[in-house]
Structures are given as C-alpha cells and as structure tokens.
Chains A and B, each alone.
Chain A
C-alpha cells in the first residue's frame, strides 16, 4: 500500500497533485492492459477497405476518427496514375492525372474537377495526409477516375471498373459427392477447416455472388455453401457432415470440395499399391497454402502406415516438360513411379501412389495427402531432357518461417526431417552413382518443404542425351532398382525415426 502511506506523509501536497496520485495505480494498470492488448493483437484483425480494379487489387487500413471510418485518399488513388498533394493554408489540394480536388480541412463540402461534392462527414487533414470518410470513396473515386465505381459499404469492398469474379456451385455426382466451384477468373483463397466446415477467404480476389448467397444441397457429405463478405474480404463457407478438403484445378478457376479420403472411401486419385496394406485413416488435415497446418494428432489411429508415398509429379492439364510432340514429362513420371512401386513391392515395402492416372493434383493436395498417410518416406518423381543421368534433391528451406506452438509452419514442415531426408538422398545417390552420373543437391521444389516425413525428389534425365531413353524399360528398371536398394540401406533409420 505504498501510495496511501506516501499520501499520508505528504498531506501538504496541492490537491491537484494528490488527485493524480489517487489515479496513478488505475492509470498504470490501464497502460499495462493496453500494452498487452497491443502486443497480442493480431494485425490481420485490423479493419481494412479492399479495392479491386483491372490495375491492382489491394487493401488499405481504416483510420477511425470521430466514430467513423476514414481512409487516406492519396493512398487509394496512387496505383491508378500520377498523383500529388499539397497543403495550401486550410485546404488540402490533390492533383490526379490533371483532375484537381480541393478539400478544406474540417469541412464536408469539397470540390473535385470544378464540382462541389458533399461528404457524409467532414474531411480531415493530418500531418499533410488527407483522410476522407470511407462511405465517400465511391463518389470521390468516380469523380477522379471517370469510370464506374461500385462500393459494397457494409463489407468495405470497392469495385473500380470491375465486374467482380462470379462463381457457380455444382454438386458433382459420384460417391461421395463433390462440390465443384467454377470461378470466372483464377482465385487464390485462404482455406481453413474446422469440424464439418471449410472456409475459403478471398482477400485479394473480387469474388461476388451472382446468385443467392446461400445454397443448400441434399447430399450427405456436403450440405450447404454460404457466401458472405465483411471487412474487405469475401468468404465462402462449405458445411458438411465429414472433414472436407479443397483442391484446385483449371489454373485456379475451379475449386473442388470433397470429403477427406479415408480407408472406407478412398479418393479416386489416391490408390494404395498393396491391397493387403490398409491405409491409415488420414487426420482431417486441410492445410491452407499460406498458413500453418496442424500436426497430425497423436491420438489419430494409424494401424499400418505405408512405408513410402510415391508421387508422380504433374498430371492432367499440368503436363510438366514437353520432350516431344508425343512425350510429356507427366507420362514419364507416372511410368517411373509405377516401376518404382513394383520394385518396392518385390522387396516387401508397402507403398502408396499419389496418382495412378492422368489426374491433376495441386502440390498442396499432394502434401496434405502425404502427411495424412504418415509414411516413412516421400519420393517425388520428375524427368528432364537437360543433362545426363539422375539428380537427387532434398528441400531448400527458408529459415524465416517459425513454427507456432503445436502448429508447424506450412513452408517449413520438412525442417525436422531434413537430416533424415539428406541421409536417404545420399544413400540413393551413392547407389545410383554406381551406374549413371548422379548428383545430390537441394531444390526449392514444392511440395518437398511441406512434407512432415523425410522427403526427396528424383529427376531422371537421359543417359545419352536422347529423350527417348527416358522411356526405355531397362533404364527405368535400373533407376528404380537402385533407388530401392539405396532406400533399403537406410530403412531401419527411417522406421526408427517414424
């Protein structure tokens, strides 16, 4: 109780000073609470206004003043042309592509291009910066730019000469049913999952609903798709009765939502090589590409996990390298992956082929499926026409992405297994090097960095410079055999690490 003692000893202090001491403790407490809130506050929670236009899509922070939302006018117009501002006494003058605006500080009547415009609240000038009410952006930008501007005021989304990206939602047949969202232009949403829900947040894409915002389906695994927009972003929430996964296709124009693969209902793109080996029930992991992915739950059942996941890169419309008019990398990769599966089986290893046909899988989807299967090793297969022999790669990781508690940074998921990956790569390179020129290096190649298990990539090139050699049965068999021998040499370490 120091403050009270202090006050008793200093009764001669002026009343104003005593008054300050009386409030000192609450004031310090409030400052501490404020600092804590500031430190733990998530910057992504900041209110923003998003601008969509053919020139650029961007977000600007909201500045609250007098209980209203304000935004800097110069920053909003900057991407569209030549702009300058100056303070002229009590007026803030803005010149944009020859159009002049005069904004008197503290007034709501402003002049743009010789015409008076009334703002819904007064204009503010702070340190030479001009702040206008967010509600006025539609009118002001139309006056400066001379193009149609549509402002979704409640969601703070501004469409400048931009019709927006529309989408259709269709339930595809099959068992289980899939929801296919087709967008009018490529999109790149953040994806997050929670039990029974998958949320896609579009921060930079001008996604708008062309039909009713809520659509319900009479299909067991997927029940509804709801569109909503707020705080400068659009969100589509898919509800279902099972964990859902999203995969991208058609250059980002199509998103397919499907129940996460399980032993009871395997996805068509995932096939187990050995029917005798039941697949591990994958944890409901749907990792957002730009964020963190949860580690597989320690409680998740994993009866007999596969030893190796073999991933024939590319597929579908993504062909990889074109070696000739009839020879594509995706086909060479698949042939080698199948050969490798056969070699593994002959040595008693259980394997899983991520794709056993000409289908398109995103690199994120490959990583999600692999992490869910919890293999001892992930092998990514590639082919190339440049150089000779084979190359064995491990992930080139960035040191800038830290984990967040239990959550592993998506781009750095490989970090803890990198030493094991390098050991496997060295063993395979040593074995391959006995018969073909082989090198061992790091590579910034997705999805190597997103795999939790030891992960390597193998790139096969012709022995003699002739691309036809890539399809030679003896060459593929020779490479596959050497890979399996190299892996077998470190099998115990891999199993122990798992």
Chain B
C-alpha cells in the first residue's frame, strides 16, 4: 500500500509535468514565430496604438492606376510614428506575394522625418531605388502612392521630399525626379489623373 503522502506528491508532480509540457510547447511555438520573423522581407513593426481607419493610395501596375483603399492600421499618436506606420503598411502590401505593384524584395523604409512647417521627408533604402523598375509611369505610381497616402492621412503636410539612404538622389530609377520637393497639391492632381483608367 502506497502511503497517502506519496500519492499526493505523485499527483502534484504529474500536474507539474503537465504544466511544464504546455509551457515547453508554447516556448517552441514562439521560437518558430521568431524564425519566421527572420524572413528578409520587411514587415510592419508592431505599432503601439489603437487600430484606426486610414486611406491607403495603392498602386496597381495593371492597368497603371492608383486606388484609394480603406484599411485598419494600428497607428501611434505621434505624427512621425503614424507616418512610418502608413508607409510600412503600403510597403507590406507591395512586398506581398500578391502585390499589385512589385517592389524589389529588399526594399524598405529607413525613416520618415516630419519637418515643420508641413514638410515630410521619406528616407528609403538603396535597395528600394536601385532595384526599382525603370519607367515614367511605374516610378510615378510609387511616388504618388507614398506621398498621397501621407498627405491624405496626416493633415498639414504640404511638401514631400524623398531621400535614398539618407542622401539626395537625382531620380528614383532614371525618371521620377527626386532632386526637388513634391507639392502635395501637385501630387493630389497627379493621383487624380492616375485614378482614371487609361
């Protein structure tokens, strides 16, 4: 006959083993998620903030148009962080396997700077520009999509400047001028033209 205190100890140990088993299983799941996150494609970083309705101006290569689309995005309270989240949301869309507007695999946003009054500076990485397809329309779609998305969701922006690796560059991929500032009024006009099918 097994003493009663040993029986209780065994039951407690059994429960502990079960709990540890669940814990180990959960840890393994987290490790798998971490490995998946090591994927080279940039993904939107977790944003601290409630999910909000935003308008993304998404470029479609076929037939070369831009569509305004509503999306729920977790947006922080700071303007600069909001701008980063909005651009990241667009990039995630373009880097997806079902991308409507293909960007180079390593394309990423380095940073977004809000410079008062009304200037936003979008700093892209070199892979973004170096691997971008060359052509007036295809480059315009990228520029208009990024600039109009920020202008539409962040009131008070009136100029947009693009940098590549923190430096000024003449063109995105041989055509769209990056040496000057983009007026948001001009970008809105361009976006309107690009929203119409040819």
In the assembled complex, how far is the CB of residue A398 from the closest CB belonging to chain B, in whole angstroms?
Answer: 5
For residue B194, CB closer than 8 A to chain A, the reply is: yes
Chain A residue at minimum C-beta to C-beta distance from B138: A386
For residue A387, CB closer than 8 A to chain B, the reply is: yes
- A444 interface neighbour in B64, B138, B176, Cβ under 8 Å: B176
Contact A442 B193 (CB under 8 A): yes
Point out the residues of chain A lying under 8 angstroms from B182, CB to CB. Answer: 398, 444
Contact B61 A386 (CB under 8 A): yes
Contact A385 B135 (CB under 8 A): yes
For residue A314, CB closer than 8 A to chain B, the reply is: yes
For residue B11, CB closer than 8 A to chain A, the reply is: no
- Which residues A320-350 have CB closer than 8 A to chain B? 320-322, 329
- Interface contact tally, CB-CB below 8 A: 98
For residue A445, CB closer than 8 A to chain B, the reply is: yes
- Which residues B134-160 have CB closer than 8 A to chain A? 134-138, 140, 143, 159
Q: Which 8 A-B pairs have the closest CB atoms?
A: A384-B135, A321-B134, A439-B198, A444-B177, A441-B193, A387-B64, A386-B138, A459-B136
Q: Output the residue of A385, A386, A393, A398 with the most chain B CB within 10 A.
A: A386
Contact B134 A445 (CB under 8 A): no
For residue B47, CB closer than 8 A to chain A, the reply is: no
Point out the residues of chain B lying under 8 angstroms from A446, CB to CB. Answer: 170-171, 177, 179
Q: Which of B31-39, B69-77, B80-88, B184-192 contacts A (4 or more CB under 8 A)?
A: B184-192
Give per-residue flags for A425-468: 1 if the beta carbon is below 8 A from chain B beta carbons, else 0.
00000000000011111111110000000000101010000000
Contact B136 A411 (CB under 8 A): no
Contact A441 B183 (CB under 8 A): no
Contact B134 A444 (CB under 8 A): no
- A382 interface neighbour in B62, B175, B181, B190, Cβ under 8 Å: B175
- B190 interface neighbour in A398, A441, A457, Cβ under 8 Å: A441
Point out the residues of chain B lying under 8 angstroms from A322, CB to CB. Answer: 134
For residue A355, CB closer than 8 A to chain B, the reply is: no
Point out the residues of chain B lying under 8 angstroms from A388, CB to CB. Answer: 63
- Chain A interface size band reads 20 to 34
Q: Output the residue of A384, A388, A393, A411 with the most chain B CB within 10 A.
A: A384
Point out the residues of chain A lying under 8 angstroms from B133, CB to CB. Answer: 321, 385-386
- B186 interface neighbour in A385, A442, A445, Cβ under 8 Å: A442
- B198 interface neighbour in A318, A389, A443, Cβ under 8 Å: A389
Chain B residue at minimum C-beta to C-beta distance from A319: B174
In the assembled complex, how far is the CB of residue A360 from the closest CB belonging to chain B, in whole angstroms?
Answer: 13
Chain A residue at minimum C-beta to C-beta distance from B158: A400
Chain A residue at minimum C-beta to C-beta distance from B133: A386
For residue B53, CB closer than 8 A to chain A, the reply is: no
- Interchain CA distance A292-B177 in the complex, whole Å: 18
Contact A387 B181 (CB under 8 A): no
- Interchain CA distance A72-B44 in the complex, whole Å: 40
- Interchain CA distance A442-B185 in the complex, whole Å: 12
Point out the residues of chain B lying under 8 angstroms from A320, CB to CB. Answer: 134, 174
Point out the residues of chain B lying under 8 angstroms from A459, CB to CB. Answer: 135-137
In the assembled complex, how far is the CB of residue A113 from the closest CB belonging to chain B, in whole angstroms?
Answer: 30
- Interchain CA distance A445-B190 in the complex, whole Å: 13
Contact A386 B180 (CB under 8 A): no
In the assembled complex, how far is the CB of residue B152 from the closest CB belonging to chain A, in whole angstroms?
Answer: 18
- Which residues A35-90 have CB closer than 8 A to chain B? none
- Interchain CA distance A411-B179 in the complex, whole Å: 10
For residue A299, CB closer than 8 A to chain B, the reply is: no
Contact A411 B180 (CB under 8 A): yes
Give per-residue flags for A351-363: 1 if the beta carbon is below 8 A from chain B beta carbons, else 0.
0000000000000
In the assembled complex, how far is the CB of residue A318 from the closest CB belonging to chain B, in whole angstroms?
Answer: 7
Point out the residues of chain B lying under 8 angstroms from A124, CB to CB. Answer: none
Point out the residues of chain A lying under 8 angstroms from B183, CB to CB. Answer: 398-400
Chain B residue at minimum C-beta to C-beta distance from A314: B174
Point out the residues of chain A lying under 8 angstroms from B196, CB to CB. Answer: 439
For residue A396, CB closer than 8 A to chain B, the reply is: yes
Q: Output the residue of B63, B180, B190 with the most chain A CB within 10 A.
A: B180
For residue A366, CB closer than 8 A to chain B, the reply is: no
- Interchain CA distance A440-B196 in the complex, whole Å: 10
For residue A391, CB closer than 8 A to chain B, the reply is: yes
Point out the residues of chain B lying under 8 angstroms from A444, CB to CB. Answer: 140, 143, 176-177, 180, 182, 186
Contact A321 B135 (CB under 8 A): yes
For residue A376, CB closer than 8 A to chain B, the reply is: no
Contact A391 B186 (CB under 8 A): no
Point out the residues of chain A lying under 8 angstroms from B64, CB to CB. Answer: 386-387, 439
In the assembled complex, how far is the CB of residue A406 from the closest CB belonging to chain B, in whole angstroms?
Answer: 23
- Interchain CA distance A421-B45 in the complex, whole Å: 45
Contact A318 B135 (CB under 8 A): no
In the assembled complex, how far is the CB of residue B180 from the closest CB belonging to chain A, in whole angstroms?
Answer: 6
- Interchain CA distance A440-B62 in the complex, whole Å: 16
Contact A438 B198 (CB under 8 A): yes
In the assembled complex, how far is the CB of residue B72 from the closest CB belonging to chain A, in whole angstroms?
Answer: 31
Contact B186 A384 (CB under 8 A): no
- Interchain CA distance A396-B198 in the complex, whole Å: 19
- Interchain CA distance A318-B171 in the complex, whole Å: 12
